[in-house]
Amino acid sequence: MSVDIVGSWEVSLSDGVYRTEFEHGTTTRRPGLHADVKEVLRRDWMFKLVGRETFPVGSTYTKATITIEAISGFSYEYTLEINGKSLKTFLDNRSKISKTWLLKLDGSDCRIVLEKDTLDVWCNGQKMETMGEFGDDGTETHFGVGNHECCIKATTTGRKRNGMIHSLLVDGIRIEEAIV
């Protein structure tokens, strides 16, 4: 049996970056969906060759839908939607409502994400316990990662269009935002 990965996408969520793959068996036509190595959907040969399949991604069970369309003969096009939006639109919106920092702490990779709309903070897939504090120049969200004191400072730019600037400090040292 030959199985081909016909679609592969990376989905960046607050709780992590997930690789989603769609496979299609050329002899058995048993398609399967994998989200970050874990098989999330498998259908028997009765599967429609075109249509939509919905499945969860990540620990927050974000809704993902793969669309399979025939384009000519036995050629197909595969697209992925997240929460009802094209992957590109979803990722563009995510960049507006979240901030991500990548750093090394105690020799290990660390990914910290701030959801600006809910003020939730995630570290390596875990939602963090935080404490908010108002200051003269904005707000501070405090949390700990291991033995490290972390703080996300939100300060105003003074201009309505630009809104707030979010900065991550780890043990008092400013960390540059990642470009994701």
Give tens-digit pLDDT for 11-45: 889 988 888 888 755 444 444 554 554 555 555 54
Burial class of residue 162, CB neighbours in 10 A (0-12, 13-18, 19+): exposed
Give pTM, 2 decimals: 0.75
In the chain, residues under CATH classification 2.40.128.180 are: 3-83, 98-175
Three-state DSSP at 17 gives strand
Q: How far apart are CA 144 and CA 106, in angstroms?
A: 13
Of the candidates 53, 35, 58, the residue with the CA atom closest to the CA atom of residue 43: 53
More confident of the two residues 49 and 178: 178
In this prediction, residue 169 has a pLDDT band, given cuts at 50, 70 and 90, of very high
Q: How confident is the model at residue 180 (pLDDT cuts 50, 70, 90)?
A: low
Mean pLDDT across the stretch 90-107? 92
122, with CB counted inside 10 A (0-12, 13-18, 19+), is buried
Q: What CATH topology corresponds to 98-175?
A: Lipocalin (2.40.128)
The architecture of the domain spanning 3-83 is Beta Barrel (2.40)
Distances (CA, A) of 131 to 68, 88, 143, 162: 45, 33, 7, 25
CA Rg value for the chain: 20
Position 27 scores a pLDDT of 47
